[in-house]
Amino acid sequence: MAGGGFAKLPDGSVVVALPLPSPPGGGGTPGARVRVLVHAANRQRALTRLRNLGLRAVYLRGNTEPPTPDEITAVLHHPDGLVWRSVPDDDTESWHPIATLLRRRPAGAA
């Protein structure tokens, strides 16, 4: 999947940015794409964190769209180090905790 990338930080950790489809019943708009940011010790650990949340088919191929300095700041200031936003180019939309993306809607919700 194109559009992802990573940035290595001075302490040796990395921030990985990946475009992912919004899960059905998740917090994002169905059929839309979201940009997910993960802070971890290394790239493999970042991908493992996402896979452990149920996002099994997550791969980082290349570094075509690494995280911006603003994105790095957003993920570093989040307690979980794992955030998403549905409109990556819209700076007015705030970053959301990953739990809101993966949360299922209650039965019968429209």
Instruction: Break the chain into its structural domains and give their ranges.
Output: 5-102
Work out the angle at residue 76's Cα, subtended by the Cα atoms of residues 71 and 79, and round it to the nearest 5 degrees: 125
Q: What is the pTM of this model?
A: 0.81
pLDDT (tens digit per residue) in 56-99: 788 888 899 999 999 999 999 999 899 998 866 677 788 888 88
Residue 107 pLDDT level (bands cut at 50, 70, 90): very low
Q: Quick one: three-class SS letters along the chain? A: CCCCEEEECCCCCEEEEEEEECCCCCCCCCCCEEEEEEEECCHHHHHHHHHHCCCCCCCCCCCCCCCCHHHHHHHHCCCCCEEEECCCCCCCCCCEEHHHHHCCCCCCCC
Which stretch, 1-5, 63-67, 104-108, has highest mean pLDDT?
63-67
